[in-house]
Amino acid sequence: MKSNHRLDILGMALEHIYQKLIKKLANNLLKRFRNAQMVEKDSLEKLATFEQQYQITLQLIEEIIQKQKEHEYTIKNNLKSEDAYFEVLMELNTIINNISKTNDNKKLETLEKKRLNALKKIESLESKLNILESHRWNPMDSKYSNYLINYCINQLNMIINKLRNERNEYFFKTAYLYDKNHKGK
């Protein structure tokens, strides 16, 4: 059997599987559509009974859902702000350490500018997070160290996920099926 013939057979097999998957997808979509119609009908009936018994309207439910979404958004936004605040604090601490180690005047000037910029960022984030300057996170503070541990774990998890994606992409690109130099046996 020649490689061209094998590729033709593989192509036909892939086409057959592709067509089967399309049929299954169409059937699943139809089932989901019918189920969604049933859920909609059932939900409207329940809503009508709630409205009669408890005077709960659709508008009231939508307002409550909107408030919950806004609350979730503010929590997520606050967490992102805390991450940014922590990163700027780490940056400030490294700048202060570098200032104490350097003797060069030019480096001291640039480090001082970086320190002032970091302080401005910290002040803006503190006002956003309602943190008083007297309560600024200290590297010796337990909250800072706990946040540092969680931050490092999150960064490691992000790096691990990126490495997994790179590994999977490498395996995919080096597979025999996609290797242009592979001649078959």
| Residues whose CB falls within 8 Å of the CB of residue 129, separated by 6 or more in sequence, listed in order | 78, 81, 82, 85
126-154 pLDDT, tens digit each: 888 787 777 777 777 777 788 888 888 88
Where residue 179 falls among pLDDT bands split at 50, 70, 90? low
Sequence ranges of the domains in the chain: 14-54, 76-137, 138-177
- For 141, left (φ over 0), alpha (ψ -120 to 50), or beta? beta
Using CB atoms within 10 Å of the CB of residue 91, give its burial: 0 to 12 exposed, 13 to 18 middle, 19+ buried: middle
User: What residues contact residue 125 under an 8 Å CB cut-off, 6+ apart?
Assistant: 81, 84, 85, 88, 131
| Contact call for residues 86 and 151 (beta carbons, < 8 A) | yes
pTM over 0.75, yes/no: no
* Residue (of 113, 134, 125) closest to 88 by Cα position: 125
CA contacts within 13 A on the Cβ side of 98: 18
| pLDDT tens readout for residues 63-100 | 888 888 887 776 666 567 777 888 888 888 889 989 98
